[in-house]
């Protein structure tokens, strides 16, 4: 089919535009750059992943697993953001060792004059990583990384409406997101926890059937028990990089 190659060409052209935009000084946030305001809640694919209380309970360190993977960003008019991410990471050398990563973070954002976005977290974000082939198969840890997006554009899709394109610091595109609500669906725009920690559920390996079972349309809540600290630098490196991929 022609659609996938065409999409690749479009994204490549956008990436080139973003690279030029990042190096070319100030831009104008006008209707050509944005078909609508960035304020609101955006999500990819079917919209299964969305920010707000339907995705996570920060006080209880609990995720409500959506039926599909995806990403969601929300922005307020006064400079606050929230991100929800859920994805699987494949392992080329061990095809059955699929890593599941789900995470949440919020904080403040700045629309820079060169068209980039800087996002600074409050410090209470966290993520859960499940790897049935790892020594520690299921754990939660803090996720608080300042994120820089090199560029962004909003277009009008003739079928699904407004579509947000974000580009990572190196120009890689984030999955396109569609406007789900003009009113941001978010948690309170302040730090919701004061502790900094790394959390472990179990050192027992889990089967793929148990960890990555097919989910129904109703999300399920999952939380973890505290049983120790993760000191392995490799696991920490994986955790901090996984949600940025």
Q: Give the tens place of pLDDT for each residue, 181-201.
A: 999 999 999 999 877 665 546
What local confidence, expressed as pLDDT, does residue 97 receive? 84
CA angle 180, 147, 129 (to 5 degrees): 80
Where are the chain's structural domains? Answer: 41-84+103-123+141-187
Report residue 172's pLDDT band, with 50, 70 and 90 as the boundaries.
Answer: very high
Give the global pTM: 0.75
CA 33 to chain centroid, in Å, comes to 23
Which range, 10-24, 130-144, 200-214, is most confident? 130-144
What local confidence, expressed as pLDDT, does residue 217 receive? 44
Burial readout 74-105 (b: 16 or more C-beta within 10 A, e: otherwise): bbbeeebbbbbbbbeeeeeeeeeebbbbbbbb
**Fold adopted by 41-84+103-123+141-187:** Lipocalin (2.40.128)
Q: Which of 56, 226, 200, 231 is nearest to 137 (CA)?
A: 200
User: What Cα–Cα distance (Å) separates residue 152 from each residue in 18, 146, 202?
Assistant: 8, 17, 40
Residues 152, 179 contacting (CB under 8 angstroms): no
Taking only the tens place, the pLDDT of each residue in 198-217 is: 554 645 443 434 434 444 44
> Which residues are CB-contacts of 94 (< 8 A; sequence separation ≥ 6)?
133
């Amino acid at each position: 089919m022609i659609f996938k190659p065409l999409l690749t060409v479009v994204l490549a052209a956008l990436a080139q535009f973003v690279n030029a935009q990042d190096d070319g000084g100030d831009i104008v946030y006008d209707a050509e750059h944005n078909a609508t305001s960035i304020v609101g809640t955006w999500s990819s694919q079917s919209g299964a992943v969305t920010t707000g209380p339907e995705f996570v309970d920060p006080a209880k360190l609990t995720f409500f697993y959506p039926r599909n993977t995806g990403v969601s960003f929300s922005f307020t008019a006064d400079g606050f953001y929230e991100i929800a991410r859920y994805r699987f990471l494949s392992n080329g050398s061990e095809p059955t060792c699929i890593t599941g990563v789900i995470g949440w973070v919020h904080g403040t954002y700045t629309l820079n004059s060169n068209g980039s976005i800087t996002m600074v977290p409050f410090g209470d974000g966290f993520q859960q990583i499940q790897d049935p082939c790892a020594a520690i198969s299921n754990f939660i840890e803090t996720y608080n990384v300042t994120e820089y997006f090199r560029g962004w554009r909003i277009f009008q899709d003739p079928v699904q409406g407004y579509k947000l394109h974000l580009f990572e610091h190196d120009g890689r595109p984030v999955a396109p997101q569609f406007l789900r609500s003009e009113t941001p669906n978010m948690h309170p725009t302040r730090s919701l926890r004061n502790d900094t920690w790394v959390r472990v559920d179990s050192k027992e390996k889990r089967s793929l059937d148990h960890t990555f079972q097919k989910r129904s349309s109703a999300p399920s809540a999952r939380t973890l028990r505290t049983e120790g600290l993760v000191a392995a630098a490799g696991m920490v490196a994986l955790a901090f990089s996984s949600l940025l991929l």
